[in-house]
Amino acid sequence: MIDIVQPFWKPKDWTSFDVVKKIRSATGIRKVGHAGTLDPFAEGILLICLGAATKRSSQLMALEKEYIATVKLGSTTDTLDPTGDISASAPVPDLTQDEITPVLTRFTGTVRQIPPMFSALKVDGTRLYKLARAGKSIPRKPRLVQIHTIRLLDWRPPDELEIQVTCGKGTYIRSLAADVAQDLQTVGYVIRLTRTRVGAYGPEDALRLEQLASWTPFIA
């Protein structure tokens, strides 16, 4: 019986299901899933479940996650990421690191967050992104999420900041970035996103695309 959890480094411009299909094709194992969708524009750790491990996907999705995000201030898109169309612009204040850090600190703890329209979240059985692609926008109820830490890694004036976030299940880094930008008296969106850790799984544990051809899962 196969029962494997394998962290995989999802490349940019791949969907999480693209990775699942690739692993099915490469291994011949049909029962393959993932624990926690990673946006196509993002890269990083995606937990792949093979065989009986697919039954533990909910448990795995509850693990703490760590991200590094680059946020562009002064404009935003309808997707809150670089795949969308510019939907708003605003001036960027003359900010310093000392002014940005206290704003970030306000987002630690239990935070109310509105999921983006372009997301895999289901409302009445329909994925939000399907409604968004059809040109529809519906009210979304704020959800409580846990932000354990948020740290400013770099401030590149006049309009680009890099943050590291550790958070709980269901947190949208795109929504967090938009909320941080609003508190900085402007608008913003995520232009780069990397998931650097899921639970104890880090980059050093992750299987890379170029390693897949020679990877043979252990079968007990």
Beta strands, E only, the chain: 3-10, 32-34, 43-51, 65-73, 75-77, 86-89, 109-113, 122-123, 126-127, 143-156, 160-167, 188-198
Q: Which of 39, 81, 179, 205 is catalytic?
A: 39
Contact 92, 159 (CB under 8 A): yes
Does the pLDDT of residue 22 top 80, yes or no?
A: yes
pLDDT at 218: 56
Contact 111, 142 (CB under 8 A): no
**Per-residue pLDDT tens digits for 169-191:** 999 999 999 999 999 999 999 99
Structure tokens at 159: 């309009």
User: Which phi and psi angles does 73 have, rounded to 5°?
Assistant: -95, 155
Give the whole-angstrom CA distance, residue 32 versus residue 34.
7
Is the model more confident about 149 or about 138? 149
Give the whole-angstrom CA distance, residue 3 versus residue 17.
19
Q: Pairing state of beta strands 160-167 and 143-156? A: antiparallel
CA 8, 14, 17, 18 torsion-angle sign: negative
pLDDT at 164: 98
pLDDT confidence bin for 220, thresholds 50/70/90: very low
**Per-residue pLDDT tens digits for 28-81:** 899 999 999 999 999 999 999 999 999 999 999 999 999 999 999 999 999 999
Instruction: Find the mean pLDDT for residues 20-32.
Output: 92
* Global pTM value: 0.93
Domains of the chain: 3-62+200-214 (3.30.2350.10), 65-198 (3.30.2350.10)
Does the pLDDT of residue 120 top 90, yes or no?
A: no
Q: Is 85 a catalytic residue?
A: no
Does the pLDDT of residue 7 top 90, yes or no?
A: yes
Instruction: Find the mean pLDDT for residues 157-171.
Output: 97
The CA-atom distances, in angstroms, between 114 and each of 107, 124, 138, 171 are 14, 17, 12, 10
Contact 117, 134 (CB under 8 A): no
**Per-residue pLDDT tens digits for 193-209:** 999 999 999 999 999 99
Q: What percentage of the chain has pLDDT greater than the value 70?
A: 99
- Burial of 65 from C-beta contacts in 10 A (0-12 / 13-18 / 19+): buried
User: Which phi and psi angles does 141 have, rounded to 5°?
Assistant: -75, 140
